[in-house]
Amino acid sequence: MNECQNIIKARIEAAVTAAQCDTIDYQSEWLGYLPFGVYHWVECQGENISSDFPFDWSLTDLTALEQAGFLQVLESYENPEDHFDRHIRYRVSRTILFTA
């Protein structure tokens, strides 16, 4: 994994630990006109956690984390009429001990 992916991994670990959950959601959409292009983000229990990701992160970074075994795709949707409209739900593949 590269430095960007290590930072993303750490942010995801912190978010799921704080939220006491084991899933995150990637979403993207086309904003419709220039200069605005595709907007994408990652949520944990409805909260955007990707604002703390490195500026140039992309879906390929999440794919690399999936290939490394850190993330597992649970479900994936891509709008057949707009490939920028995506939703991917991931399970974070690590043991998290929740405190009650």
Residue 43 belongs to what domain range? 3-92
Residue range 12-39: mean pLDDT, rounded: 88
Q: What SS3 class is residue 90?
A: strand
Tell me, yes or no, whether 100 lies in a domain. Answer: no
Distance CA 46, CA 6 (A): 23
The pLDDT of residue 94 is 64
Identify the band that residue 34 occupies on the pLDDT scale cut at 50, 70 and 90: low
**pLDDT, tens digit, 9 for 90 and up, residues 80-97:** 988 888 999 999 986 543
Q: How many domains does the chain have?
A: 1
The pLDDT of residue 100 is 37
Q: pTM score, two decimals? A: 0.85
